[in-house]
Structure 1
Amino acid sequence: MKIKGLKQLSGALEKAGRGSFRKKAAEWLEQEGLDFLDLVRQEIMQAGSVDTGLLLRSFRRGADRNIWTMESGGLSLEIGTELDYASFVNDGHWMGGKEGVRWIPGRWQGGRFQYDPGSSKGMALKRQWIKGTGYWEHALYIFERLFEKRLDERLQTWLDSL
């Protein structure tokens, strides 16, 4: 039996095994990670979860207090943020003291409250549940569908180039 192109395929697979495929795959995976971070930021903005912008900026490669791990050999990519309140914004949280009402000294300036520990004025916060926005799950849902399609396309492109 003779298989046409087997010699070329064998040579291409051997070349891919020596590192060029692995390098291309690592570069592609890194770009996919950056695309996911873009989706997370878009979902944060769409959910209206932007106040100071710290959470939004924490989902960026190289940003302070974020997580970005990439292992080229094992093709592993880990992204996220180390901001403590990121999960509260995503999942929801209780606000206010356990006693039912919590006094915060300060004053209102425009539409924002300014904390001032020496002030005799302030506001009383009643304990309430703040619903999470689910920005992470929304971004992940979108990304999983995009990633599957992109991976199929990328693998086909790589196979066609062999």
Structure 2
Amino acid sequence: MRIDGLDEFIQALDEAIDGGLQSQYELWLEAMGYEFLDIVQDEIMKTETVETRRLLNSFQKGDADNIFSTTAGNLILDVGTNLDYASFANDGHFTIDPSKNLDRRWVPGRWKGDRFEYDPAAETGMLLKFQWVDGSGYWDNALAIFERMFERSLDRKLQEWLDEF
């Protein structure tokens, strides 16, 4: 998200109050990051994205698979996950890579109730047939919600800072 002139505006406000705004700006940006993580987790649950909680947990700051960085100057906020299957769960995928010219693939493991546990040493497993699996769109939904919320929050915060300083 790019907002032309925001950095100059924040710098002018910051200079007007002897640097006190920068720390508030950084805190607000970090809070926005946490808010986005909450929205993504809500959307994973709401869309019933099939996963083993690893995807859900990867959208928590501090998780080994989480990406979370903030910078107040130039308004940089990176939030995401390093899990390779996160995009497949969002966008959809084929059960087998079409470039391999296969129509089925054996996956070793076992069923526990309605969940399958992958185990490369198992003698049992499941046979995947070539087909498309729809994605849940959890990321796209969360991003659309966050963009609307971010804009309103920024408007409120800028007005609050103007009123205060």
Unaligned runs of 5+ in 1: 1-11
Q: Residues 58-92 of structure 1: CA distance to partner in whole angstroms, max 9, x if unpaired?
A: 01111112211222444321110010000100111
CA contact (8 A) 1:70 1:76 kept: yes
| Cα distance in 1 for residues equivalent to 2:62 and 2:135 | 26
2:140 corresponds to which of 137, 140, 157: 137
Q: CA deviation at 1:106?
A: 4.2
Could you say if the C-alpha distance between residues 13 and 68 of structure 1 is closer, same or farther in structure 2, counting changes exceeding 3 Å? closer
CA contact (8 A) 2:96 2:103 kept: yes
1:160 corresponds to which of 140, 160, 163: 163
1:7-156 to 2 correspondences below 5 Å: 14-16=15-17, 18-96=18-96, 98-114=101-117, 115=119, 117-119=121-123, 121-156=124-159
Could you say if the C-alpha distance between residues 109 and 144 of structure 1 is closer, same or farther in structure 2, counting changes exceeding 3 Å? closer
The TM-score with structure 2 as length reference comes to 0.80
Q: Residues 11-66 of structure 1: CA distance to partner in whole angstroms, max 9, x if unpaired?
A: x76343x3211111111011011001100000001111143100000011111122
* Matched residues, number: 149
Could you say if the C-alpha distance between residues 116 and 74 of structure 1 is closer, same or farther in structure 2, counting changes exceeding 3 Å? closer
Q: CA deviation at 1:112?
A: 3.2
The TM-score with structure 1 as length reference comes to 0.81
**Percent identical across equivalent pairs?**
48
Unaligned runs of 5+ in 2: 1-12
Q: Which has the larger radius of gyration?
A: 1
Could you say if the C-alpha distance between residues 145 and 112 of structure 1 is closer, same or farther in structure 2, counting changes exceeding 3 Å? closer
- What is the RMSD computed on CA atoms of the aligned residues? 2.0
Q: CA deviation at 1:149?
A: 1.0
